[in-house]
Amino acid sequence: MVEPVAQPHITFTAYRLVVDFVNRVVAWDGWRGRVMATVMAQGNADMENAAVELVNPKPDANIVMIGCGPGVGVVAGARRAPNGMVIGIDPSPVMVERTRTRCRRERVEQVTKVERAAAESLPVPDDSQDAVVSVNNIQLWNDRAVGLDECVRVLAPGGVVVVLLHTWAIPDAVPDDEWVAQLCADLSARDLRVEPPQTRRFRSGPAVVILGRSEV
């Protein structure tokens, strides 16, 4: 059950309009993309770090970060899995470059790989990942069903899918509880053992936390 929380003065519709404007008009390019990357790095940092903590990776873990943005979560994952590999994917070339730059600056480029790709087509082999992580982007996937199929395809036995999403970013047309319940059902239908969803508070607002684990 997702506990009710006070909502900030923003709706998914407004949020989506802003994202669509950036994607279609600005195209995450040039100085605008760099500014957006800086804002995202600061605003999502605690959520990205929390997602990695939820994964609780072993030192040799393999992790995919979907929609990695400016790479805060990729670096956090690499620090927790120094003998593994963290793959960051993002459809934005600016975000891909920002993540690569961050990884070089933090000296984790040897255990990270960053590619321009979308959730619906993960450039990752089958059954190879200990965790698949999505922070504040699953609501923007072009085809969630295909994206979830991809998450399950690449997940190794015993692996975990971790989804964090601001409650104010849940689509307006669907009550929060219904949206969360449907996502949990979609994960369960793909043979993942879904833990009860939770709501946690972060600097940037409350967020729902959903974990689905594959059988060993």
Q: How many residues does the chain have?
A: 216
Q: H-type helices in 90-208, by residue range?
A: 93-105, 144-154, 176-188
**Residue 26: its pLDDT value, please?**
42
Quote the crossing angle between the two packed helices 30-55 and 72-80, to the nearest 10°: 30
Burial letters for 59-87: b for 16+ Cβ neighbours within 10 Å, e otherwise? eebbbbbbbbbbbbbbbbbbebbeebbbb
> Which CATH code, of 3.10.20.30, 3.90.190.20, 3.40.50.150, 3.40.50.1860, is assigned to 12-213?
3.40.50.150
Burial classification of residue 207, based on how many CB atoms lie within 10 Å of its CB (0-12 exposed, 13-18 middle, 19 or more buried): buried
Read off the pTM.
0.84
**pLDDT tens track, the chain, 216 positions:** 444 444 444 454 555 555 554 444 444 555 555 555 555 656 678 999 999 999 999 999 999 999 999 999 999 999 999 999 999 999 988 889 999 999 999 999 999 999 999 999 999 999 999 999 999 999 999 999 999 999 999 999 999 999 999 998 898 878 999 999 999 999 999 999 999 999 999 988 899 999 999 998
Q: pLDDT value at position 36? A: 59
